[in-house]
Amino acid sequence: MAKFKVIFDPALDRMLLQHTEFISRVSVPAAERFLDEFEAVIQRLSENPYQFPSCDDPNLADTYRKAVFAKWYKMIFSVEDDTVYVDAVVDGRQSTI
């Protein structure tokens, strides 16, 4: 049973679509793995978001955490009470978050 409610930023759909389209140009199975791993991280967030470390950026570390998945991608989120707010999915090769 989920202990935490997971809420997505409205822009997250666009981010996921961009990443999935980029990956699928190289490999459709890799794009499918990306989405599977994304869903697995969401499940883990609903169980215990505190299992993931704080962001590396000192400006974000007090508020945001990150979950690395699909080798290069980072999910950036914050936790408030029993709610997890997922704000972004970024390509870790292009971002310092």
Tell me the domain boundaries of the chain.
5-91
Mean pLDDT of the chain: 92
Question: Which pair of structure tokens corresponds to residue 65?
Answer: 């955490």
What pLDDT sits at residue 95? 56
Domain 5-91 has CATH 3.30.2310.20: yes
Q: φ, ψ for residue 14 (rounded to 5)?
A: -65, -40
What pLDDT sits at residue 23? 94
Mean pLDDT of 57-64: 87
Q: φ, ψ for residue 30 (rounded to 5)?
A: -65, -40
SS3 38: helix
Helix 28-47 and helix 12-26: axis angle, to 10°? Answer: 140
Report, in this order, helix, strand and coil percent for the chain, each rounded to 5.
Answer: 40, 30, 30
